[in-house]
Amino acid sequence: MRFGHQLYPWRPPALQAAVMLQSNRGQSHDSGVSADDKGSAIADKYGLAAIGVKNIGATAKSITHRIAHLQASEKDKERLGCLGECAKWYKYADAKIGEAAKDIASGTKGGLEDAELALIRAMYAPLICEEGFEKIHKPSPLATEDAKFYKEAVITKFVTGHCSLDV
């Protein structure tokens, strides 16, 4: 299965890096590290996990700003209540993403396992946000952003989980 091109025109940055790494097998990176070297492969996984955490952190902040703009103009009290819950959960997600970044940087098995758990907790934000709008039977203005965040978080959690297998 090929990512990109016709089947998957959009790829999260962490996945783009993974695909690029796979297609450059055996070539040297700018860092002078070979992708065929086991130690380098582990370093590449850590790099992908760190990049993924950085990206989902930026996505969470972007969604938080969008929620604030939506709250400023929303007149419907039910939708405003849902947006308030979304804001609270994305703030929580941002804190968990910060924890995950520190845990990944530790490079320890325990740290990586803690990072994976923090990412799982961050993944609640879009799920709870969407659930709130479903409960009031109104369309979510954040559906696209929630889906993007969730996809990026799943990929980052997957990569982070694989890092802990190598420690």
pLDDT, tens digit, 9 for 90 and up, residues 42-89: 557 788 899 999 999 999 999 999 999 999 999 999 999 999 999 999
Find the mean pLDDT for residues 92-121: 95
- Alpha-carbon distance 33 to 28, whole Å? 6
- Alpha-carbon distance 37 to 32, whole Å? 11
> Is 113 in contact with 128 (CB distance < 8 Å)?
no
Tokens of 61: 């902040």
So where are the chain's domains?
40-166
> Is 97 in contact with 119 (CB distance < 8 Å)?
yes
**Backbone phi and psi for residue 34, each to the nearest 5 degrees, phi listed first:** -85, 140
Query: pTM here?
Result: 0.74
DSSP, collapsed to helix, strand or coil, labels residue 158 as helix
- Kindly indicate the confidence band of residue 39, based on its pLDDT and cuts at 50, 70 and 90: low
Find the mean pLDDT for residues 13-18: 46
- Alpha-carbon distance 165 to 167, whole Å? 6
Find the mean pLDDT for residues 90-113: 94
Q: Summarize pLDDT for 111-164 with one digit per residue, the tens.
A: 999 999 999 999 999 999 999 999 999 999 999 999 999 999 999 999 999 888
Topology, domain 40-166: Butyryl-CoA Dehydrogenase, subunit A; domain 3 (1.20.140)
